[in-house]
Amino acid sequence: MFGQDMLFRIPALLLAITVHEYAHGKMADHLGDPTARYAGRLTLNPLAHLDPLGLLMLWLFRFGWAKPVPINPFHFRNRRQGIILVSLAGPAANIIAAFFVLILFKLWPGTGLVVKQILSLCFVYNLYLAVFNLIPVPPLDGSKVLWGFLPESQAYAFSRLENYGPIILILLIYMGVVGRLILPMVGVLSYFLELVTDWLVFGVLYRFLLGF
């Protein structure tokens, strides 16, 4: 588990986590909440976003988290909509990052072994982080998205689970429920990105060759 691949996994993990948390903060800032900016979280410096336990969990089990970006939803013009958009921004950014990594693979297949392994892991970790965070269990992003769509009375009842969310999540991971849930979703998402990337890259190359 702590072999030489650690040298490849750490940069990939840091990139995925940083992209995820930066997107949360950037979206909140865009919607009028400067809390993340004042806290120094609108940065691509990985050290600003690291949660040691979350990083270790992600490294060992591919399920983990970063230090949550602070937000104040009362700054949002529409509180529920703001929370949903901020919550979705992180997973969306991870999927976009995975997409661009895949494009790099297609355009530069001769990339060196070290870079290729880092990019490969970066693709995987971004997809895992995106799908994992969409699980509707507190404190993951999916729980905030679900809260935003629930009627007020149900949203209040659901929010009371927040104190027990981490325990529930750890139990689900331990029992293998999370793995069985997200692995197929990661596979489907990976296949879809492959199709889109192939269509985009080969379409561009085809048009380029037609120009000669």
**Could you give the angle at the alpha carbon of 74 between the alpha carbons of 51 and 35, nearest 5°?**
40
**Could you give the angle at the alpha carbon of 153 between the alpha carbons of 147 and 159, nearest 5°?**
40
Three-class secondary structure of residue 57 per DSSP: helix
Catalytic residue among 21, 152, 162, 194: 21
Question: Is residue 152 flagged as an active site residue?
Answer: no
> How many Å apart are CA 10 and CA 59, to the nearest integer?
8
Helices within the chain (DSSP H only)? 6-30, 35-38, 52-61, 79-107, 113-133, 141-149, 152-159, 165-174, 177-210
Residues 6+ apart with CB under 8 A from 90: 20, 21, 23, 24, 130, 133, 141
> How many Å apart are CA 44 and CA 21, to the nearest integer?
9
Q: Which residues are catalytic?
A: 21
